[in-house]
Structure formats: structure tokens, C-alpha cells
Amino acid sequence: MRVAPPRRRGHGGAPAEATARRQRRRALMSGSLVELFDVGRRFGSDPPVIALDGVTFSVQRGSSVAIVGPSGSGKSTLMNVLGCLDRPSSGTYLFEGIDVGSLTDDERAALRAHRIGFVFQSFNLLGHRTVLENVMLAEVYRGVPPEGRAARALEALRQVGMEGRARFLPPKLSGGEQQRVAIARALMGDHSLLLCDEPTGNLDSVNTEALLALFDELGEAGLTLVMVTHEEQVAAHADRRVRMIDGRLTEEQP
């Protein structure tokens, strides 16, 4: 199995290089991709469960943000709101300047199809479809012609070192391999935002390094990355780190 060569970067081992990279990325950043103003999300009514409580937060284009925090603190809810999978109960969410709260269900679906990629913790691959078909699925709801779709999917698989498994069915793959296929699917298309829930949770250290290197390349190409992680190494790799506690968001210094 060929894995895309990782960019050598030790955890805290080359601060000068990391600083330079951040500076390069900041130079590429041009305004906010997502902006949340006093966003709240409640579930139920007797008594309501407050998953998000007055979150105000913005992410610059091309930057990477790591969300950390204990289980049940609201990380997944925040990811769902950012991914337009869920509507906030209060507050305003702007995506590329678009007020997501004013969009219809169809328009939010179109926004997801064209602008947002997801990597789920449980991979969410279709077991009866091949790896290649799973990756190609990302373009099905974008209305693009099927010509070249397979080639683009193979290129995405190549980026995560999985092109050799294109004809395999997901149940035949290891957890790490499935996770890389899920990442390849999220890389299909011209997304602005990539939302990852524990993207390295099933990867070994070598593949984690490779994936982080890939994220760096994508960031330099303008992709904005928001990820939930429990791994210190991955969180430290992001440009920013925020912490969720009891539905409230606090900024942490890198």
C-alpha cells in the first residue's frame, strides 16, 4: 500500500517550521468562511438540554481549527450546525456570507453538496458498494456530469494512498483503511470547508502523519478545516484550538 509521503513535522519538534507554515497560511486567508454570532441550540423542552450556549465563533478561509473538549460538551452539535446538518435554535450563522438560517431545506442540501465535506467518526461507508463507488457518491448530488468522475475519485483515493483498494468492498478493509476512504470521499469536489470528526481515530502514527501532511497541503490550497479530536498531536497541528465545555466555546492559545 502506497501512502502519500508525510511532511516531516515532529510534534513540537520544529516550531520554526510550524510558525512559517502558519504565516504562509495566514497570508492566504482572506476573510471568514464561517461566522457564528451568539448561536444556541437546545433540544427538548421539559427541561431543555442546552447543547450550544451563545457560541460566537469565526473561521478564516484556509485555516484549520481543532475543537477539543469532553464528551457531551457540544462538539458534535457545533459540527452539525457548521455542516448545515442542523439548524441553530438562536443566533446567526453565516457561511460564505450566506445567512444559513434563511435557507430552505433544499438550499442547505445544495450548500452541503457543493461546499462542505464530512469525515465521520464511524466512516459511514456503504458496505455493498466498492471503495471507488463510495468515493464517487460525493458527486452524485452535485448535478455534475459523470464523465471523469471515476478518475477524480481515483485521484482522491491516491491522495490517501488507497487507489490500490478501489475495487474492494469496505467491510474487507481495516478500520484505518476505511477511515482513509471516508477522507477520500470528503476530498472529492471543490469544497470550501472540511469537517472531520476524529479523523485520525483509527490511524496508526505513520498514517496520522501522512494525513496531517495532506491537510496542510489542502489548507495551502485554500481548504478550511474544522476537526473534532481528542488527540493532542492532531489538535496541536491546527492553526487554532478551541475548547467546548457545557455548550460554551473558549479559545485556547496554540
Q: By CB under 8 A, name the binding residues for other proteins.
A: 80, 83, 85-86, 96-99, 103, 105-107, 109-115, 118, 120-122, 124, 126, 128-129, 133, 137-138, 140-146
* Shorter beta-carbon distance to other proteins: residue 86 or 216: 86
Nearest distance from C-beta of residue 24 to other proteins, angstroms: 29
Nearest distance from C-beta of residue 58 to other proteins, angstroms: 17
Q: What is the DSSP letter of 142?
A: T
* Shorter beta-carbon distance to other proteins: residue 179 or 212: 179
* Shorter beta-carbon distance to other proteins: residue 141 or 217: 141
For the chain, counts of helices (H) and of strands (E): 8, 10
- Distances from the Cα of 104 to the Cα of 41, 138, 198, 226, angstroms: 19, 21, 29, 24
* Shorter beta-carbon distance to other proteins: residue 20 or 126: 126
* Shorter beta-carbon distance to other proteins: residue 1 or 140: 140
User: What whole-number distance in Å separates Cα of residue 145 and Cα of residue 252?
Assistant: 44
Which amino acid appears at position 121 of this protein? Q
- Distances from the Cα of 181 to the Cα of 22, 62, 109, 205, angstroms: 28, 23, 22, 17
CA nearest neighbour of 154 among 144, 173, 139: 139
Nearest distance from C-beta of residue 47 to other proteins, angstroms: 21
